Amino acid sequence: METVLGVSMTPTAVRAVLVEGEHAEGATVDTDTFAVVSARGPANPTGPDQVVSAILGTREGAAESGCPLASVGVTWTDPIQAAALRDLLADQRLEKVMLVSAFLAAASLTQTVGNSTRYAHTALLFVEPSTATMAVVHTADGSVADVRRQELPDDEDEAVAALTAMAAGAEAMEPRPDGLFVVGSDGVDIAAITPQLQAASSLVVSTPEEPGLALARGAALASAHPPLFSSSTAAIAYAQDPGTGAVVPHAVGLGYADFPATVERGAEALAYSADPEEAGLTPARGLGTGAYPTFDGDVDSPWTGYGAAPTERRATRPFLVAMSVLGLFVGGVLALVIALAIAIRPHVDTRPQIGANAVAPAPPPAASTPAPAAPEPAKVAPAPAAPGPAAPAPA
């Protein structure tokens, strides 16, 4: 059995939830919460440090118990922490880790609630300390439509009144939702305002069973269902950021899944990408003129100030296409030259050379005449034996 890990990282705490099933559809296996101390030091690990430690420890423990991690989803609220986590994940070369925004985590959780309640469309009210976002989530494909964002007053009573007004207008959203699901970020007490929201809306208002772990659970669901980010259906421009998906260990990009800063009130929302130069874009379902009809807040993304300042987009696609074609041409020429060099090199020494002196091999030396053998020495006849003494003469 595989498991999925979801992590919620905020400036004050890191919450983790381990869920059964490859698609995070099972029961909760384990949960944990780590406090984040602002003072950094060896004894005070930062939020990104604790997230990486939680991922490594859970992955090792899950593998030992025979329940390996299928994927990991991490949601964040502070872009500075998210950037630090991105670099740390790249250094550790952690794979199958997806960074998603808090809003997308809430949308993933809302889709699951719609499946369990058999709602075709569910209204999501995502409440943050300073803003509130409402949208309609399609249960079939997880896409989002009719997004409305509003700044909340600093005064608590006025903020509750603004939320109540948003809940009252939920039934007029397009397409009409079957229920209202309320999710709060870190520091927002959803249980305290649920009765007022239910009294103001004709829809059934529901909240997560564990509000503190809602975003972590949503991050796990988002990582287990990556088609949510590449859906060709009515996914609106909140998913237009590059890099949404599994973290590439060697070239990690953050997934700032939120509204683009260039969206204008009353403009037609685009499916998946807000870039008008991209080919094949289709209007989001249910989002014609007046896509943001009922709110008075600013539609700019809260992450607009992160990174480079927003500037007017310039048409760069023709230049990129020309450079790509030129690069392919140069690469082909180089490949051809290298192939020819490899094919010729083994035969260079054996090729004939015009004008070279041919040298015939020297004849072998003549065999030397053997020297005549020395004559054998003449045999010397033995000397005759000396005659014996003469016999005496007879007397």
Q: What is the pLDDT of residue 279?
A: 35
Alpha helices in 18-175 (DSSP H): 47-64, 79-92, 102-117, 156-168
Range of the domain at 23: 3-101
Separation of alpha carbons 30 and 4, rounded Å:
11
DSSP 75-90: EES-HHHHHHHHHHHH
Residue 26 is assigned to a structural domain of this protein: yes
Residues β-bridged to residue 220: none
96 and 169 co-located in one domain = no
Residue 55 belongs to some domain of the structure: yes
pLDDT score at 164: 96
**In terms of domains, do 75 and 172 share one?**
no
Which residues of the chain are under the pLDDT cut of 50? Answer: 229-315, 347-360, 395
In this prediction, residue 340 carries a pLDDT of 75
What pLDDT, on a 0 to 100 scale, did the predictor assign at position 186? 84
pLDDT at 169: 94
Q: Do 95 and 108 lie in a common domain?
A: no
Write down the pTM of the prediction.
0.60
Q: What are 369's two structure tokens?
A: 């005449």
109 plus 136 within the same structural domain? yes
pLDDT of residue 139: 94
Q: What is the pLDDT of residue 243?
A: 35
CA-nearest of 196, 193, 11 to 102 is: 11
Residue 110 and residue 96 share a domain:
no
Upstream peptide bond of 175 is cis (omega within 30 degrees of 0): yes
Listed in sequence order, the residues at least 6 apart from 24 whose beta carbon sits closer than 8 Å to its beta carbon are 4, 6, 217, 220, 221, 223, 224, 225
When divided into structural domains, the chain yields a total of 2
The last residue of a domain, from among 101, 121, 151: 101
Q: What is the CA 265 to chain-centroid distance, rounded?
A: 32
Kindly state whether residue 211 falls inside one of the protein's structural domains.
Answer: yes
pLDDT tens readout for residues 294-353: 333 333 333 333 333 334 444 455 667 778 778 888 888 788 878 776 665 554 444 443
Of the candidates 154, 78, 153, 264, which has an alpha carbon nearest to the alpha carbon of residue 166?
153
Taking alpha carbons only, the member of 96, 101, 94 closest to residue 76 is 101
For residue 33, what is the DSSP state?
A: E
Residue 258 lies in a domain: no
Both 18 and 33 in one domain: the answer is: yes
The DSSP bridge partners found for residue 259 are none
Same domain, 127 and 164: yes
Amino acid present at 358: A
Bridge partners of 270, per DSSP, are 283
Q: Is residue 349 one of the residues assigned to a domain?
A: no
Going from the C-alpha of 61 to that of each of 14, 31, 66, 330, the distances in angstroms are 19, 14, 9, 50
295 occurs within a structural domain: no
| Residue that finishes a domain, picked among 54, 80, 101 | 101
Distance separating alpha carbons of residues 188 and 104, to the nearest angstrom: 18
- Structure confidence at residue 254 (pLDDT): 37
Kind of pairing between the strands at 97-101 and 69-76: parallel
Identify the CATH number of the domain in which residue 206 sits: 3.30.420.40
**Does residue 249 lie in a domain region?**
no
Query: What is the arrangement of strands in the sheet containing 179-184, beginning at the earlier edge strand?
Result: 144-151, 131-138, 121-127, 179-184, 204-206
Whether 12 contacts 36, CB under 8 Å: yes
CA-to-CA distance for 386 and 8, rounded, in angstroms?
141
Q: How far is CA 304 from CA 194, 260, 381, in A?
A: 31, 8, 137
